[in-house]
Amino acid sequence: MTGNDDPTLTALQRLAAHAPDGAWEPDAPAVMRRGRVLRARRTAGAAATGALVLALAIGVPAGLARHTGPEPVGLPTTTVTTANPTTPAPSTPTSVPTGALGGVPPTTEVAADPYGFVFALNKPTASATAVTANVADELRVTVSPTGSSSVTVAFDASAGHGTSSSVAVTWTPNDTASDYSGAHLYPAPAFSAPVQGTSMWYSYLIGTVPSWISDPTVALYSDYGWPLPDGTTTHAATVPTFQAPTADGRRMFVLVVIGPGNLASAFLSERQHAIAFDGAEGMYLPGCADQTDPGACVSLPWAQWGTQQRVQFVDWPAKH
Amino acid sequence: MSGTDGEVGTAPAEYAKVLATGGPPRRDAEFTAFMAEHAGDLRRTAWLLVGDLHRAEELTQEALARTYASWGRAREGDALAYARRVLANLRIDTWRRRRREVLTADVPEGSVPGSEGRAEDRDQLLRALALLNAKQRRVVVLRHLVGLSEAEVAADLGISVGTVKSSSSRALAMMRAALLSEGGPR
């Protein structure tokens, strides 16, 4: 405080002494969630258009080619439909359910300041009709049954001014590993959609858990990584699954990546990620041309990835 | 397969929980600690800038979010100064007019002897501060209420030291006149 005999300053200093004082806790999750959005949008705004074009030219087609190729009749089929970006998105409630939390950015080992976030749906108990979740206040995910072994996963991005899209996921009950060989890859649809007016994108990775693997752990391996408390980085995360709201109750997973286009698209790019099902029957990697050789699925040596400590998808930020 | 138009209107039955990967990284742990330590100070400064506790808390949260968005840069130097600079440069034009009501809500004092006089004192000062434009108010708050040097104020607001001096001088003169017209500062 400045010392002064001016009665005006003295009075001002009295005012300062009367200002609200004491402990006050801001809404930390909201603060950090907004900070991430600001950061991502700033980064997205600064990103060169060429980088985005490059990412779109390489990343998205690669991801789509890997996951959405023609499927044989009788095997799980997947169709991705993205709404026309010029079509006004439908209105949707924007309230956030209790427990919808912000994300931790994935990092790379070369970039100290990450900008993207990975979210996963988690519904421990079975849902009879539909499963819905809001992601980061801007994206609404609804998994609705369309048959005894099929669902539609709708991504309503209108709250975040993004492009809404949806994907139909159909599976064969009681299938076996031998059903998926050669070009008949186990489906794990992945696609991206833009946020209008920015370089932000949403990327989605949706899948079902193979029926022939008993209670497997689902793991996501990514070229991006997550920081560990000891300062190192891991590239593996255990993915939560939930029971599809269908008669057969197949287990599913839904992952959402929010970030600048180059990051979000790259996340799904060929050899940049892998989903692995790890059960008593062994490890199975869907979407890989040679599912017995994980090294064929990822860019890093599997020996390096496979031994990674797996981080958990958790409520975050942690409650204080 | 269909687009979203037919899907979104369907009433959801149950909400799933959205989880995120990993535990809080070091960056978030640092920022959380920073918030715990300084949020009160920042809210205090914000209240002096806008004269309303609710608005002050909104501004403080926004300033903290922006600080978090640039935490890598903020933590390289004085993170509190960085956050205060962000705060001071947010829009503070919406000075709440119903000041007496706000003050009563902020600091209940009815049972404290002499509290009426203090409330009147603050009310008078806040009215005088409200007469200042946003830039003058920023200067007065940072210079005379937060206690920064002229150079620090200049750096925080991105103006010259000379502008700090002239703005401060004009602002104090205006406040002095206003206070005198109400019988002088108590």
Nearest to A113 among B72, B175, B179 (CB): B72
Which residue, among B2, B5, B10, B17, would best test binding to A if mutated, counting the most A CBs under 10 Å from its CB?
B17
Q: Which residues of chain A neighbour B176 with C-beta distances below 8 Å?
A: 6-8
Q: Nearest 5°: CA angle at A289, between A205 and A300?
A: 70
Report the 10 Å Cβ neighbour count for A38. 16
> CA A109 to CA B39: how far, in whole Å?
32
Q: Is A124 exposed, middle or buried (0-12, 13-18, 19+ CB in 10 A)?
A: exposed
Mean of pLDDT values over A196-208: 80
CA neighbours closer than 13 Å in the CB half-sphere of residue A233: 16
> CA B38 to CA B12: how far, in whole Å?
41
Q: Is the pLDDT assigned to residue B23 strictly greater than 50?
A: no
Q: Which residue of B has its CA nearest to A34?
A: B65
* Residues counted in chain B: 186
Q: Which residues of chain A neighbour B1 with C-beta distances below 8 Å?
A: 79, 81, 152, 166-168
Host H or E run for residue B161: helix B161-181
Angle between helices A49-67 and A261-268 (to 10 degrees): 20
Mean of pLDDT values over B158-176: 92
CA A248 to chain B, closest CA, distance in angstroms equals 18
For B68-100, what is each residue's pLDDT tens digit? 888 877 887 889 989 998 998 887 655 444 333
Show which of residues 236-275 on chain A sit within 8 Å of chain B, judged by CB atoms. 237, 240, 242, 245
CB of B12 less than 8 A from some CB of A: yes
Strand partners, B113: none
CB of B182 less than 8 A from some CB of A: no
Q: Which residue of B has its CA nearest to A36?
A: B69
**Cross-chain residue pair A133–B17, CB shorter than 8 Å:** yes
Joined together, the tokens standing for residue A92 give: 């949707």
Q: Which residues of chain A neighbour B68 with C-beta distances below 8 Å?
A: 31-32, 35-36, 39
Q: Long-range pairs for B118-124 at CB < 8 Å and ≥24 separation? A: B118/A18, B120/B186, B121/A11, B121/A14, B121/A15, B121/A18, B121/B185, B121/B186, B122/A14, B122/A15, B122/A18, B123/B99, B124/B179, B124/B182, B124/B185, B124/B186
Q: Which residues of chain A neighbour B5 with C-beta distances below 8 Å?
A: 83, 90
**Cross-chain residue pair B57–A26, CB shorter than 8 Å:** yes
CB A131 within 8 A of CB A246: no
Whether ipTM tops 0.85, in short, is no
Q: Which residues of chain B neighbour A130 with C-beta distances below 8 Å?
A: 10, 12-14
**Cross-chain residue pair A11–B48, CB shorter than 8 Å:** no
Strand B14-15 versus strand A131-135 pairing type: parallel
Q: How would residue A62 be classed by pLDDT, with cut points 50, 70 and 90?
A: very low
Q: Which residue of B has its CA nearest to A8?
A: B176
> CA B167 to CA B147: how far, in whole Å?
16
CB of A117 less than 8 A from some CB of B: yes
Q: Is B129 exposed, middle or buried (0-12, 13-18, 19+ CB in 10 A)?
A: buried
The more confidently predicted of residues A59 and A172 is A172
Host H or E run for residue B47: helix B26-50
Q: How would residue A300 be classed by pLDDT, with cut points 50, 70 and 90?
A: low
The more confidently predicted of residues A163 and A149 is A149
pLDDT of residue B103: 33
Q: Nearest 5°: CA angle at A173, between A170 and A178?
A: 100
**Cross-chain residue pair B20–A19, CB shorter than 8 Å:** no
CA B53 to chain A, closest CA, distance in angstroms equals 8
DSSP three-state, residue A181? coil
How distant, in Å, are the alpha carbons of A67, B44, B75 from that of B101? Answer: 61, 18, 38
Q: Which residue of B has its CA nearest to A132?
A: B15
Eight-state DSSP code of residue B142? I
For B97-128, what is each residue's pLDDT tens digit? 433 333 333 433 333 444 455 667 777 777 88
